[in-house]
Structure 1
């Protein structure tokens, strides 16, 4: 009969979880977000500018490469179609 023993924890129909959209739950969520936001370590200005520069340079290089490939493939296709 040990296998038929049931836990009283999950059987109570009166125990309902509050709706996640209840005002109290929303307030609790916002407070938890504020606490987590204080734990964020933001990069300093020098790091941000350096990483932004890297992104800009790589964007220019990749766009030049893709533009050149597009131009070459366009010329190749147009030469075959003539």
Structure 2
């Protein structure tokens, strides 16, 4: 029978990484954000206005639909409760 012996491992000294809140890390983060912002392709004014119009129209149409369904179901439930 083999006896198990504990093997002592040499643990190297852990290298401490700098804090995420150190000024150097914050500066690096801000520089990376600036680089990423330069990669953004923004839509032109015509496209933005067109898409905004679509959102507004769809919002109005869906709110009218949901309001009418709510009104109809409310009257239906009220008639059953009388």
TM tier, smaller = 0.7 to 0.9
- Structure 1: state its 5+ residue gaps: 1-10
TM-score by length of 2: 0.83
* Alpha-carbon RMSD: 1.4
Tell me what 2:58 maps to.
58
Deviation at 1:13, TM superposition (A): 2.1
| Number of residue-to-residue matches in the alignment | 73
Question: Structure 1, residues 26-66: CA drift from partner, whole Å, max 9, x if none?
Answer: 01000110111011000000000000000000000000000
Tell me what 2:5 maps to.
none
Runs ≥4 in structure 1, deviation > 3 angstroms?
none
- Structure 2: state its 5+ residue gaps: 1-10
